[in-house]
Structure 1
Amino acid sequence: MFPQNGQPAYSPGRLALITILQFLEGLSDRQAADAVRGRIDWKYACALELTDAGFDASVLCEFRARLLEGKQEAVLLTTLLTRLCMEGLLAGRGKQRTDSTHVLAAITMLNRLECLGETLRQALNVLATEAPDWLSAWLPSAWAERYVHRFEEYCLPAKKDEQYALASLIGADGLHILTHIDQQTEWQ
C-alpha cells in the first residue's frame, strides 16, 4: 500500500490516528493539518515533537485514497477498536460502529464543502478586484458575512442535512453570480 523505498514523513499509523481525530472533531483536511501543526493536544496524541512542522493537507486526501485503493479502510477501524479494547478504553460489551466508509464519507463531504465555499469566495474576491462597482451594485448584503472569511476558518455543519443545505446555498449563490455575469453586456 505504501512505497518501500524512501521514508515517508508520516507513517500510515499516524495518518490513521489523525483521520480518526479529524472525523471526531468534524474537521476538513486543511483544518486537521492545521491542528497537527498548531495544537498541543493533537501533537501529544500523535506522539509528535512540539516543534513538528506538520504536513500539507493533501497528504490526508492521498492517504484516504490509498486506503480505499488497497481496500484497507475496514482494517483501519477494526485495528483501532481492538487496540482501544485491549487498553481498556472501550467496553467490550458495547456495540461499536465500525463502518469505515461512514468515517471517510463524512470527511470527504466536509472537504467538498470547504472547497465549494472557498471557490465561490475566491471568485467574489477576483470580481471585487476587477469590477468593484459592478459587483457592489447587485451583491446581496448577506454574502459579505458568508464569504468574508476563508472557509477553512468556519465551523462546518456536522449534520448531513445542514451540510446539504449549505452546499445548496453556495450553489445557488454561484448560479446568482453566473446569471449576473451573463447579463453583463459591457464585457462582451
Structure 2
Amino acid sequence: MPHIDYFFATLSPYTYLAGTRLEEIAAKHGATITYKPLDIIALFARTGGTPPLERHPSRQEYRAQELRRQAAKTGLPFNLRPMFWPTNGAPAAYAIIAAQAEGGGDLGKLVHAVTASVWSREKNIAEDDVVRECLKEAGFDPALADKGLMLGAETYAANLEEAVSRGAFGAPFYITDTDERFWGQDRLNDLDAYLSGTL
C-alpha cells in the first residue's frame, strides 16, 4: 500500500487551492496519508526561500497573477488579499495534529476548512472559535482545539525538522514512501500518474 507524507502550511494559499484532490488521489490508489503541518516561514529560512512579503516586486506581482489563474482553474473562491493574512497559523496546525492523533473525522476536509477560512471566508485561524468551527465541520470534536497543545507544539517543530531533512522546501509538498517528491498543488496530477505507474 503506497503512503504519502503531506507537508503543508495552514496559511499557504497553494495548500488551500489543493482542495481535497490529494485525498481523492490517495483513495484511488489505496494510499495512506500522514498530515504534517509546519511553519512555512521557518521552512523558507532553512531552505533558501524568501517570505512572500519580502520578495522582489516582480516576484510578488507574478505570484498574484499565478494565484488568480490557479484559483480559476480549481473553481474555488479566492481572495488574493484576505483580511487575516498573515496571522498565527500554529493554533490551527496544533488542532490538525490533535485531530490526526484522535481520529474520528475527515482530515482532508479539516485542512481545507482551515485554509478556506483564510483564503475565502475572511476568518482568523488564530482564534479558537474559528478552529473549533473547522473541527466541527470536518466531523471532529471541537474541544480538540484545547487539547494536546504540548503534543501539537512538539510535532509542529518536528515536522519542520523532518521536512528540511527530507528535502521539502515549500508547501504543499508531497513525499511518497519511495522518496518521490512533488512540490505544489499543481503537481498533484504528476503524483497521480506516478502512483498509477505511468510517470
TM-score (normalised: structure 1): 0.32
- The higher radius of gyration belongs to 1
Return the structure number with greater relative CO, CA threshold 8 A, min gap 6.
2
Q: TM-score, normalised by structure 2?
A: 0.31
